[in-house]
Structure 1
C-alpha cells in the first residue's frame, strides 16, 4: 500500500491541496521521504520472509519424508520379527510390539502415521528402566 501511495504521490498531494477534508491527511515532503525509506526497509523484510518460508517448507517436507521412511522400516521390521519368532507374553518388549501390531491392524483404512508416534510416546513414558 505504501508503494502505491508513493506511485501516486503527486495525485495525493494535489488532492490534499484541493480538498479541505483531505488536507489533514496530506503528507509533508519529509513524511514522503520517510515513507520511501520505510518501503525499502519493508521490502528487505518481505524478501527475507519469503526465502525463510520456502526454507521452512523444505525442512518440513524432508522431515515428513524421513518420518514416512521410519514408519515403513518399523512396519517391515516388526512384521519380520513377528513372522520369524514366536511372540511370548512373558517378554514385555515382544508383547508390547505384538500389541502395537494388533492395534495398528485394527485401524484398517483409517490408519494414521502419527499413531506410531503417539504409541511410542505412550510406551516410552511408561517405561522407567535404565539402559
Structure 2
C-alpha cells in the first residue's frame, strides 16, 4: 500500500500549489498555512514514498520523475538525482548483503566490507509547487513518457528503472 501513498500525497501537494496560484485570493493565507504543515511531513517522507512508487511496476522511476517535474519544474532534477543516488546506495547495500549471505551459505569465508548505507539522506525544503483540484495526470504523464529518452543500463536496478 505504501506505493499508492506517493500518488495521493503528490496530488494533495499539487492541489495546494494550484490553489495558491488560483483565482481565489482569499484562500491563499489559509492554504499557505496548510502548505507549511504539509511541507514539514513531505520533507520527512519524500524519499521513502518515492522509493515505494519506484519499486511499484505500475509507476517506476519515470512516474516519480514526472511528479517532481510537475511540482518543482526546473528544480525537479535536484530531487530526482537525490532520490536516484540514495536508491542506488540502498541497492548496492542489498547486493553486498545478498553476496555475503550467499557466500556464507556456500561455506565461503569471504567477508565483505560492511559500510553502512549513507544514513544522512539529503532532504530538501519544499517551498514551491503547483496544485490542481480535479487534476488528472494521465495525459500529461503519457506526454512526459514520450519525451523521455532511454539510457544504457548497467545494473539490475537500472534495468528495472
TM-score normalised by L of structure 1? 0.29
Larger radius of gyration: 1
Q: In proportion to residue count, which structure has more helix?
A: 1
TM-score normalised by L of structure 2? 0.24
* Higher RCO (CA < 8 A, seq sep 6+): 2
